[in-house]
Every structure is written in C-alpha cells, then in structure tokens.
Amino acid sequence: MSDAVPLTQLNEDELLFRSTVREFSQQSIGPLVRQMDEEQHFAAELLPQLFNLGLMGIEIPVEYGGSGGTFFEAILAVEEISAIDASVGVLVDVQNTLCVNAFLRWGSPEQKQHYLSRLATGTVGAYALSEAASGSDAFALQTRAELRGDHYLLNGQKLWITNAKEAGIFIVFATLDPAASYKGITAFVVEKDSTGFTVGKKEDKLGIRASSTCELILEDCRVPIASVLGEPGKGYKIAIETLNEGRIGIGAQMLGLAQGAWNCAAKYAKERRQFGKAIAEFQAVQFSLAEMATEIEATRLLVYNAARLKDAKLSYIREAAMAKYFASQVAERVASHAVEIYGGYGFVKDYPVEKFYRDAKIGKIYEGTSNMQLATIGKLVLGER
C-alpha cells in the first residue's frame, strides 16, 4: 500500500480552522442568505465578524495584525463560506487571494505596514483591472495615468469590480503609455476617499447578488507616487501573477457552492417521499447524487493540489487553470442536478438550490473565462510533451 498522504487530508490545525469557519458560516451567514440575495445588499453586520475571526487577513503576518496563516487556509475559508453563500465567499476570496497577495508579493515595507494592517483589521480591498473593452484581453485597458510632479492623475472607468461598495482600498491598473502595450501598465493603490475617485452604480446581476459589483470612475484622480504598487510599467506582471492565485480561490468558491448544493439535494432526497418511499431509495436519484459527489471530490483534489503547490512555492499555473475551469463546470452541473432532484420546489425561491444554480454561472466568466483557462492549459500541457 502507498504511504502517500491524500491531498484532501487536513492536519489538526486545518481541521480546527475548517470547523470554525463552517460553524460560523452556518450560524451567522446562513440566516441572512435569502434576505441578502433578495435585497442585493451585503449585510453590514457580517463584516466585523469576518474581521474578528481573522478571515479577511488569513495570510497577513501577525506583526501587521493578520492571522499568519497559509494560502491553503484561505482556500478552505472560501470553500466553507461558499457552501452557504457564494456572495460572502467571493468577498473573502478577493480580499485574500487578490488584494492581500498583491501587497505581500509586491508591496514596499512601508506599503505593507500601512495597508496590510488595515486589510487585516477592518478595511475591505478591491481589485480593479476590467474595463468595457478590456475583459479577456486584459491588457487592452484604456485607463490612463499621467505623472504630474509628485503624483499621478488617473482617468478612466473600471467595470465589474467586486467588493467596490464595501472597499476602502483599491488596486487600480492604468497605463502610462497606450503605445507601449502591456509594458506601460502600472498598478496603483487608490483610497476610496481620493479626490476624483467615485464608485458608480451597482450591477443588477443574475447571481451572487449580495456581492457588490460596481463601476469605478476616475476623473483626474490624484494618486501619490508612493502609491505605485511594485514599479511603473510592471503592472502586467502583478496582474498575471495575482490572477493565477485568484483562480484557485474561484475554484474553491465553486467547490464550496457545489458541495452546498449537493448537501441540500441529498438531505431533500432523504425527506421527499414518492410512491411510498424516500426518493433517495430510487436508483436514478442515487446515481445522480453519486455522480455529483464524485465530481465534487475530483474538484476538491484539483483545488487542494493547486493550493498546496502554491504554498510549497512550486509551479502551479497549469493546476490553477485546471482547478478553476473544472470547478466552474462541476458547480453548474451539480447545481442543475440539485434543482432537478427538488423537482418543482427546486424552481422556486422558497428552497435554496435555485440560488446555487444562479450563483454558479459566474464561475465560468470571472477571473478568466473557461475558454481562457483552456487556452492556458492547452499551451502548458502541449509544451510539456
């Protein structure tokens, strides 16, 4: 027999962490899910709870007020929270896998001290890359940055920015020279109260409706030189490397969503009776739940493997793309089957699975569409042969 440790096996600290997040999610988030979805509003009382539990600064070192944890623990948190509500899951995901990771890797000592301490203790972060004409072609962005003495002026518009209404710190990508293509792109740290900076309308979305997805408007937005993250012209590198990590986070979100939908479907199948017995006793329902469970476990292996590789400082780009791609496919399939197991009840908002189904769709779109993941995977696997 092999002595290899299963990828899904957790150590004692990870088990305790997962248990804590699961209990919090069920008890504190669960009762608010339907109201947040219907009102398209993130419950304000959840934010201090997320910070107090250390879930908004999992990898931030203790000296900055963070939890001093691992990337894998951040992935566990996103998974467990998303099993209850993917809207809360993505808020925690963007905070940890995008914003915190960008500062940890690219921030100066002064920036780390100033911003990480805030992200750990009470300030939400947002990551502003996308624009109307810059989606999958991320480096076609048109937001301009002009150096004016001791500061930059930023002008442009960002779209589909997650956490925008709650955030106090934004990582905004702009170009110093459109003619320089990706070599002109620079990352800036912009405060919410900066002159010339406005958070625009919140999008009316199909799913993850409690998550704020807004436009950002920059009109001669003044940003000090000290607020450049990394180096001028190196924003493309920050964007690529941070999004590679973020894709594991979205994989975890979709994994949690799939598990949440399965949990509901399995429970309902044991309770719902037809023809004198629970529908879980019918082979067709058993087979459906078995296929769903198998795909969820395969997803967990992919997501956990990518996260473990990242923590071990090993190459994980291919694995991150695979995890994100497969997890989004599985989440949509599992949520769809869950609706079918509920039958007519699955199609109404009185039961939870229709929300899982709506929430799942975004997994194939943001932080790199499924086609973009396949393009990355194809290039990497073909290059290995």
Which residues are catalytically annotated? 367
CB atoms within 10 A of CB 1: 3
Contact 119, 192 (CB under 8 A): no
Q: Torsion-angle region of residue 92: left (phi > 0), alpha (psi -120 to 50) or beta?
A: alpha
How far apart are alpha carbons 303 and 79 in whole angstroms? Answer: 10
Structure tokens at 9: 């096996």
Helices (H), 151-282: 235-271
The whole-angstrom separation of Cα 122 and Cα 133 is 33
Contacts of residues 19-28 at CB distance under 8 Å and 24 or more positions apart, as own/partner, are 20/53, 21/53, 21/55, 21/76, 21/77, 21/80, 21/81, 22/80, 22/83, 24/49, 24/53, 25/80, 25/81, 25/83, 25/84, 25/85, 25/88, 26/84
Tell which residue, 162, 197, 55, 171, has the closest CA to residue 115: 171
Amino acid at 97: T
The tokens describing 200, both together, are 């625009």
Helix residue spans in 227-363 (DSSP H): 235-271, 283-311, 317-342, 353-360
CA dist., res. 340 & res. 137, Å (int): 37
* Residue 272: φ, ψ to 5°: -75, 125
Contact call for residues 221 and 155 (beta carbons, < 8 A): yes
Q: Are 364 and 207 in contact (CB under 8 A)?
A: no
Spell out the alpha helix ranges (H) of the chain: 12-24, 33-39, 46-52, 71-82, 86-93, 101-106, 109-111, 117-121, 235-271, 283-311, 317-342, 353-360, 370-384
| Cα→Cα distances 384→240, 314, 315, 326, 374, Å | 21, 16, 13, 20, 15
